[in-house]
Structure 1
Amino acid sequence: MRIRRWLRQIEPRILAELDRPSLAWAKPWLDRHELFAFTRRPLARGLAIGLLCGLIPGPLQVAATIVLCSMLRANVVMGVATTFYTNPFTIVPLYALAFQIGSAVLPGEQVMPVFNHAAAGASGWLPALSEWVSALGWPVVIGLPVMGFWFALNGYLLFTWWWLRPAVARMRRIRSRLPRPV
């Protein structure tokens, strides 16, 4: 309950930031209420879009999230914040999971290449990671979108459930107090 109240309190502050002269060029594009509304539907859409776009490689995650949020009338703040679930600590397990999902979808047997970061040393782990990701091939190309849509759907449903949980509990309490028809 406190989180919802806090989210509703920051909405006017974010909308006030759009009045800056440096953002005047983007005001017609960003001046939609849903993009910065902290209510259930825009927040759930933003979460789903952020989970989907978080798996896009490289710096395109945030740009793709902003574009999709504006097209689908989702909360941009939630979408952009959600993309950060992919980071240097989580990207290797997520890509390994995407490989497994892609291997299950694709015909034939797929073998995951070994991530040999120890041989590369401290300075060479980033090129070793890049080489490992490129060696993953088609299973990752297929697995990432499948995993992204699965994350997005489940994130949307879980957030909606979490948001509506107090209302459903209140409705059940009210129904339990009503007299039962005989």
Structure 2
Amino acid sequence: MPKKFLKRLMPDPGTLKNNKYLKLLGSRLHDNNLWNLNRQSAAGAFAVGLFCAWLPIPFQMLVAALFAMFFRVNLPLSAALVWLTNPLTMGPLFYFAYRLGSFLLNRPHHYKHFELSLSWLSSAMSSAAPPFLLGCIVMATVSAATGYMVIHGLWRWTVAKRWKQRRQNRL
């Protein structure tokens, strides 16, 4: 895992700890596990960040930060990963989640007509909400599990590769 690269991207913990708005979180923010970058904290941060990226709610970064504090994983990495769903990618990703939910619930996934009215929007959302939310939860769970396993595996592979190189250099 490119630990040096990730460390350069992360903000300074001292600056964040002294931020007047973040002082509301108290001593929980001073937990070293939130700022360390090791195999467990990075893999857990990917799981938290990717899970929160699929939540169709505002303030995803805040939710990811709270989850990171609860699970004691790397906070900056967790908060940064929610930007997987940014204004450019949100539409296609959430449409995919809706299509997945429609498939899992065995429901039709398209509307015959479009009307720009509040009544049409409320009826469309009432029928689209269950498949959309199911698709988001399934994708959040799959993404979190996959992200955790991939980062954990990459980290172990990188460490094993470095040990092998050290061993060969000594001979």
Pairwise TM-score range, normalised by the shorter structure:
0.7 to 0.9
After superposition, give the CA deviation of every residue in 1:140-176 in whole Å (9 maximum; x if it has no partner): 1211101100001111111112222222224556889
More displaced stretch, 91-100 vs 154-163: 91-100
Distance of 1:4 and 1:129 partners within structure 2? 47
TM-score, with length taken from structure 2? 0.77
Q: Higher relative contact order at CA 8 Å, sep ≥6: structure 1 or structure 2?
A: 2
Residue 112 of structure 1: aligned partner? 109
Identity score, percent:
25
TM-score, with length taken from structure 1? 0.73
Distance of 1:129 and 1:77 partners within structure 2? 37
Long gaps (5+) in structure 1: 121-127, 178-182
Long gaps (5+) in structure 2: none
Q: CA RMSD in A?
A: 3.4
Distance of 2:43 and 2:159 partners within structure 1? 16
Is this contact kept in 1: 2:10–2:77, CA < 8 A? Answer: no
Report how far residue 103 of structure 1 moved.
Answer: 2.7
Matches within 5 A, 1:1-182: 3-8=2-7, 13-21=12-20, 23-106=22-105, 109-114=106-111, 135-171=127-163
Instruction: Find the structure with the greater CA-based Rg.
Output: 1
Aligned length: 169
After superposition, give the CA deviation of every residue in 1:87-110 in whole Å (9 maximum; x if it has no partner): 22222222222123223332xx31
Report how far residue 19 of structure 1 moved.
Answer: 3.1
Residue 12 of structure 2 aligns to a residue whose secondary structure is helix
Is this contact kept in 2: 1:15–1:36, CA < 8 A? Answer: no
Distance of 2:6 and 2:53 partners within structure 1? 22
